Amino acid sequence: MAHQQNGPFPQSLPKAFSVLIFIILLKDVCNGQPQLIGPSQVLVARAGDDVILPCHVEPAYDVSTITLEWTRSSLDPRFVYVSRGSQELEKLKNPSFKGRTSVFVDELKYGNISLKISKVKSDDTGTYKCYVPVLEKEAFVELVVASDAATSPVISLSGIDKNRGGVVLQCESAGWYPEPELLWLDGEGNLLSAGPTETLRGPDDLYTVSSRVTVEKRHSNNITCRVQQRNTNQSRETHIHVPEDFFDITSSSPSVTDTSPVSLALCILLLILSVVFLVRRKRKHLMRTNRRPKDQTEDVRVSTEEDREREQFNMKLPITSRQQLQEEQQRREDAENTLGDLQNDKEKLENELQDEKKRNVEQEAKLKELEKKNTEIINQLQQEKETLEELKKQLESKNQELSDSISELNREKMIKESEINTMKNQLESNKQEMIKSEREKDEIITKLRQTIVTLESKLQEEKQRREKAEKQVQMLPTETEEEKQKKEETEKKVQTLPIKSEKISHINSPSKQKKKRLKEPQKEVKGQPKNECCAF
């Protein structure tokens, strides 16, 4: 009995421990011992390549039966690949990735969730998220797909540097992504020190780079402009051969050092003004010295016939004045030609200026549009972040509820177990009591049997005594009154005996119903005295 009372503890303690360990393990899984590991660097690929975006669970954890997600938030729908229990859910996937993404199914059981993207395009550039909802873990992979639209550099003559006696070359190349670098090299492959590289980013996200360099005569005249993107191993280059005599011209001729449109226009304006001034002065001078040729010179180039007439007229003049006149006419024609050329140049430049302004306005508009888009994207991101935080909170509260209910269940289980144990104890004590009462019953029965045996022996004695007495009676021929009375008494005694033994059998009968074991001895007790009684 004492052993049974201590029962509840040894029995339910191991169970409580295992429940505790289970809860700890569950917490570990929820609170994230396992981590998702992505690459530490930006992945760079060329258009048309197949790439693998690495992502795996550490420590290794079988993910072949759970939901896995690869997404890119800038897409709509954002799913690049989703699978549940190794089965891809293709319906969720963004159509632009149809048939192009896959995971390595055999690797899932080792926690390897790496994603393969086939034939990447420049549109695939972006940040990808590898996400395991059960673990609430994520990793990010940045992919850059290089543009395949890069153009070969174009080298043009930009101006002349009089101070250094060199020519200024400009190089430009467009259609690059990611941003490239621009290098100038001389014929021996040495780097030339150039001005800063100007970088422009177009609305298609592609970069245009340009740079200027001043090439001096001491440089070998075979010049190379190279544009390269190191991460993608892309490179384009163009050579230009600057003729030797070009440098001689630059050192002797009056040259333009700065070729910005405004200063160029100013110079040209000055030139025009001075030429006009010169021409007017010459004209006045001519009018004063010789009035007659003036009429002719006005239409000097109308036709060749007029020219011939004029020559004939000029022949009549004195040689010296004729020569003077011819020289004067020549000069005037030259000046007029230059004037015309200069005016043409001016018009061209003005047109270019106008174009430049238009382009500027367009670019400003584009810039504004880009800014608008940026703010929109930022707003979207903010919203997504908020919804995600909301979700996180909900999940956390659910988690809390779950652990609460688990502990509640445990408490109930403990209570049930202790109830069961008390019931067991009661049963046990009941059993013990039954055994005890049976033992007591057995004792009563054996006592009864003993009394029966003693009664039987007494009966036997009485019988013998009676037999003796009978013999004595038979031997005596006459009976005295006293003897008669004695005889009757003894007969009465003998008659009461069977009644006693019947009482005994009445006492025995209730135990007969309870215990079969006791049946046989009872029969013996019942049977013997009855037979003896009947014999009388």
- Identify which of residues 112 and 410 has a Cβ nearer to ligand NAG in the complex: 112
> Which amino acid would we find at residue 344?
N
Closest separation in Å from C-beta 328 to ligand NAG: 49
Q: For strands 87-88 and 101-103, give the pairing.
A: unpaired
CB of 25 to ligand NAG, least distance (A): 24
Nearer to ligand NAG, 156 or 233 (CB): 233
CA dist., res. 510 & res. 528, Å (int)? 20
Cα–Cα distance, 75 to 377 (Å, whole number): 11
Q: What is the DSSP letter of 4?
A: H
Q: How far is the CB of 401 from ligand NAG (least distance, A)?
A: 36
- Helix H or strand E encompassing 521: helix 519-535
> Which CB sits closer to ligand NAG, 137 or 466?
137
Q: Which is nearer to ligand NAG, 101 or 522 (CB)?
A: 101
Minimum gap (Å) between residue 185 Cβ and ligand NAG? 7
Q: Which one, 31 or 33, has the nearer CB to ligand NAG?
A: 33
Q: How many CB atoms lie within 10 A of CB 288?
A: 8
CA 201 to chain CA centroid, Å, is 30
Cβ-contact 55, 115 below 8 angstroms: yes
Least distance (Å) between residue 228 CB and ligand NAG:
11
- 394, two tokens: 């909900």
Distance separating alpha carbons of residues 103 and 82, to the nearest angstrom: 10
The residues that bridge with 191 in the sheet, in sequence order, are 185
Closest CB 156 distance from ligand NAG, rounded Å: 18
Q: Which residues bind ligand NAG (CB under 6 A)?
A: 44, 52, 54, 56, 104, 107, 112, 114, 187, 222, 224, 232-233, 239, 241
Of the pair 233, 380, the CB lying nearest ligand NAG is at: 233
User: Minimal CA–CA distance to 180: which of 207, 156, 200?
Assistant: 207
| Residue 77 or 187 having the CB closest to ligand NAG | 187
Smallest distance, ligand NAG to C-beta of residue 127, A: 19
| DSSP annotation string for 341-406 | HHHHHHHHHHHHHHHHHHHHHHHHHHHHHHHHHHHHHHHHHHHHHHHHHHHHHHHHHHHHHHHHHH
Buried b (16+ CB within 10 A) or exposed e, 35-48: ebbbbeeebbbbbe
Distance of closest approach, residue 232 Cβ to ligand NAG, in angstroms: 5
Give the integer Cα–Cα distance in Å for 462 and 466: 6
Report the residue number, 21 or 60, with the smaller CB distance to ligand NAG: 60
